[in-house]
């Protein structure tokens, strides 16, 4: 994973995570991304022992009165479908599903969600934010950050502990360890995440859509009550309610392709009926029409597109060779996702030419060079950039 991806190479380990680092004798300046380090760690872990820890944790929280004893956030993708199903049917928990829905559901994404609930067999709660505010914040996120997915990501992450608090649920499960996709090991490798970005002490220090909360209220005529649903639970409340936040991928060996097969078999999950633009796969992050555009913006900002993310993960899990991955990146990375583009721009009241001007503004000169009126990367994994 390129070091142009924010957080792809961590600068330090938390003290409690150093024992994990000992698997690799890691030098933090060795140029190896955390996703690869995590992959090596994953293959050295005694997963039977980890499962014993999971069983102990579940026994601590399991309720015998029919109430929900854990909460699983998700919008119907393969990973959340897998984690909810295995918790309920293998480990005999009673999970509540909570969904912060995609900004613009795809037909097949919505069908997967309905199959997850109906075929998988779960109680579910959908939390729909104020549509007018959601649209405005998404538009501002594009204008200020070139980040069309920020509002969805924040909602998806932040809503689960809040709902757990409302329902008296003390155990929240997210899915795969996010270092699987390149996030820092230090943020993700611990089993217990009572704090971190799931809770906050000072709301005045939070930025949303690239602006301070106070500026959104003053300049954009939004109310604090409009924004609160997007913000994390307070540090005080999460500690008072003794809510524990865990990654199931810490306890069970997580391979995205295997999660896909499991979801297909047990919850009626189906891949896209066509290849996802910008990559070679059909089953990753297919719920939201804006998903494809989000990955295109990462290509603009960081020089790495969706094919890079997918190929890197498949190489680490030995489903592709590096040469195969490089060829796929060359063929698909940066492909413009035009399938839903006009619909998205119309929904957001954003002119298409304005979007492209914003993209050009976010092209870092150390990554991009314009030749004959065409933008090209200076460097890429195939070593055929303008400066390679």
Instruction: Return the pLDDT at 5.
Output: 83
CB-based burial, 64-89: b 16+ in 10 Å, e otherwise:
eeeebbbbbbbbbbbbbbbbbbbbbe
What class has domain 47-251?
alpha beta
DSSP 37-85: HHHHHHTTS-HHHHHHHHHHHHHHH--SSS---EEEE-SS-HHHHHHHH
Distances (CA, A) of 198 to 74, 184, 294: 15, 16, 22
DSSP-assigned beta bridge partners for residue 370: 375
Give the residue among 302, 326, 305 at the shortest CA–CA distance from 314: 326
10 Å Cβ neighbour count for 363? 17
Instruction: Return the pLDDT at 23.
Output: 39
Domain positions in the chain are 47-251, 273-377
Cα–Cα distance, 232 to 253 (Å, whole number): 28
Instruction: Return the pLDDT at 236.
Output: 87
pTM of the model: 0.88
Please report, in angstroms and rounded to a whole number, the separation of the first and last CA atoms in the chain. 18
Q: What is the pLDDT along the chain (388 residues), one digit of tens a residue?
A: 888 887 655 443 333 444 444 434 444 456 777 788 888 888 889 999 999 999 999 999 999 999 999 999 998 899 999 999 999 999 999 999 999 999 999 999 999 999 999 999 999 999 999 999 999 999 999 999 999 999 999 998 899 999 999 999 999 999 876 666 555 554 444 444 444 546 677 777 788 999 999 899 988 889 999 999 999 898 888 888 999 999 999 999 988 899 999 999 999 999 999 999 999 999 999 999 999 999 999 999 999 999 999 999 999 999 999 999 999 999 999 999 999 999 999 999 999 999 999 999 999 999 999 999 999 999 999 999 999 9
């Amino acid at each position: 994973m390129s070091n142009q991806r924010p957080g792809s190479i961590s600068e330090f380990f938390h003290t409690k995570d150093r024992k994990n680092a000992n698997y690799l004798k890691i030098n933090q300046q060795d140029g190896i991304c955390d996703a690869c380090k995590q992959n090596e760690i994953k293959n050295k872990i005694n997963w039977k022992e980890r499962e014993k820890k999971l069983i102990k944790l579940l026994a601590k929280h399991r309720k015998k009165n029919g109430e929900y004893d854990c909460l699983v956030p998700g919008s119907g993708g393969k990973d959340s479908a897998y984690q909810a199903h295995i918790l309920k049917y293998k480990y005999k928990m009673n999970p509540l599903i909570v969904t912060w829905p995609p900004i613009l559901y795809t037909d097949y994404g919505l069908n997967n969600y309905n199959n997850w609930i109906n075929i998988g067999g779960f109680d579910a709660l959908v939390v729909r934010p104020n549509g007018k505010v959601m649209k405005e914040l998404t538009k501002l996120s594009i204008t200020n950050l070139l980040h069309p997915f920020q509002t969805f990501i924040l909602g998806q992450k932040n809503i689960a502990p809040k709902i757990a608090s409302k329902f008296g649920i003390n155990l929240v499960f997210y899915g795969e360890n996010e270092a699987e996709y390149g996030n820092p090991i230090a943020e993700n490798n611990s089993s217990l995440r009572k704090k971190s970005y799931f809770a906050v002490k000072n709301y005045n220090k939070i930025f949303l859509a690239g602006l301070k909360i106070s500026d959104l209220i003053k300049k954009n005529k939004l109310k604090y009550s409009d924004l609160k649903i997007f913000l994390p639970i307070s540090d005080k409340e999460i500690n008072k309610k003794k809510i524990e936040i865990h990654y199931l991928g810490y306890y069970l060996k997580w391979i995205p392709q295997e999660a896909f097969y499991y979801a297909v078999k047990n919850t009626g999950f189906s891949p896209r009926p066509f290849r996802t633009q910008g990559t070679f796969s059909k089953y990753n992050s297919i719920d939201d029409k804006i998903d494809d555009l989000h990955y295109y913006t990462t290509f603009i900002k960081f020089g790495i597109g969706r094919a890079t993310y997918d190929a890197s993960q498949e190489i680490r899990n030995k489903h592709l060779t590096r040469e195969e991955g490089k060829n796929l990146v060359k063929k698909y990375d940066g492909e413009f996702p035009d399938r839903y583009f006009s619909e998205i721009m119309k929904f957001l009241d954003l002119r298409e030419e304005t979007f492209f001007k914003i993209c050009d503004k976010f092209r870092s000169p150390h990554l991009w060079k314009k030749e004959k009126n065409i933008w090209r990367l200076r460097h890429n994994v195939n070593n055929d950039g303008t400066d390679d």
